[in-house]
Amino acid sequence: MKGCKFCEDDIRKKGVVYEDKLCYVVPSGYPRAFGHLLVISKKHFSDMASMDKKTLLGCFYVAHRLLPKMKKALKARGIYVIVDSEGAEEIYHFHIHLIPNYKEVHRKRFAYLSYKKISDADRSSVIKLLKMN
C-alpha cells in the first residue's frame, strides 16, 4: 500500500523475533518499555475490522504464544496487548502491541512514559531474548 510505512519500509531487515506466512514480529522502533513488540500482518489491512479471519487469528495466535515467553524472559508482571483503533495510531496497517508491564511502569502508567527511539543494542537483546520458532 502506497504511503504505508509497514508496506514501504521492510522493517524486518533489522531482525525479527518471529515470522510466518501471515505475520512477523519485530521490536517496536519506539518502545514504551524494554521488550515492546509489534505483531504485524504481512498483508495490508488498514484496521482490524477489514481483516480476513485467517490473518486475524494468525496474528493473535502468535501474540498468544509470545505472552508466556515474554513474561518469563523479561521478568515482566504481565503484558499489555493493545490494538489501537482508527484515530489512535500513526500507522494504519494492522499491528498488535505487546508491551511488558514492569513494576515501576505499572505504577507510573505506561502512557506517560516518553517515546525514545530504540537503540541497536536493545533491539538485539530483545530479539535474542524473545526469538521464537
Q: Which residues bind Zn ion (CB under 5 A)?
A: 1, 4, 6-7, 44, 93
CB of 34 to Zn ion, least distance (A): 26
Q: How far apart are CA 15 and CA 78, in angstroms?
A: 24
CB of 65 to Zn ion, least distance (A): 23
Give the residue with the Cβ less far from Zn ion, 88 or 121. Answer: 88
Give the residue with the Cβ less far from Zn ion, 36 or 93. Answer: 93
CB of 81 to Zn ion, least distance (A): 21
CB of 45 to Zn ion, least distance (A): 8
- Asked if 95 and 78 touch (Cβ cutoff 8 Å), the reply is no
Which residue in this structure is represented by grid cell 521464537?
132
Give the residue with the Cβ less far from Zn ion, 4 or 132. Answer: 4
Give the residue with the Cβ less far from Zn ion, 1 or 57. Answer: 1
